[in-house]
Amino acid sequence: MSDQPVDLQKLWAQVIATVKKGDIIRSLWDAVEAARPIVIEDETLVIGFSPANMRHSSYLTQPGNEGVVRRAIEAAAGRRLEMHLIEGDNLEAWERYKQRRQTAADQTEQVARVAVGHRSTTDAWLQLSQQVQRMYYEIAGREQALGHARYLVKAIPLIARTEQQLRSQAPEADDVHEIELNRVFDRISSLSGLPGGIIALEYLRYVDSRKRG
Whether residue 124 sits in one domain with residue 44: no
Q: Tell me what pLDDT residue 1 has.
A: 40
Whether residue 200 sits in one domain with residue 161: yes
Whether residue 78 sits in one domain with residue 122: no
Whether residue 197 sits in one domain with residue 116: yes
Burial class (CB in 10 A: 0-12, 13-18, 19+), 63: exposed
Asked, for residue 103, whether it belongs to a domain, the answer is no
Is residue 60 within 8 Å of residue 69, measured between CB atoms?
yes
Asked, for residue 98, whether it belongs to a domain, the answer is no
Query: Could you give the count of Cα atoms lying within 13 Å of 145 in the half-sphere of its Cβ?
Result: 0
Instruction: Profile the chain (213 residues) by mean pLDDT over runs of 10 residues.
Output: 71 96 92 95 93 92 92 94 92 91 74 62 89 88 87 92 88 88 93 91 92 75
Asked, for residue 50, whether it belongs to a domain, the answer is yes
Residue 66 lies in domain: 8-89
Asked, for residue 59, whether it belongs to a domain, the answer is yes
User: Which residues 6+ apart lie within 8 Å of 181 measured at CB?
Assistant: 125, 159, 163
Whether residue 119 sits in one domain with residue 72: no
Paired sense of beta strands 36-41 and 44-49, if any: antiparallel
| Structural domains counted in the chain | 2
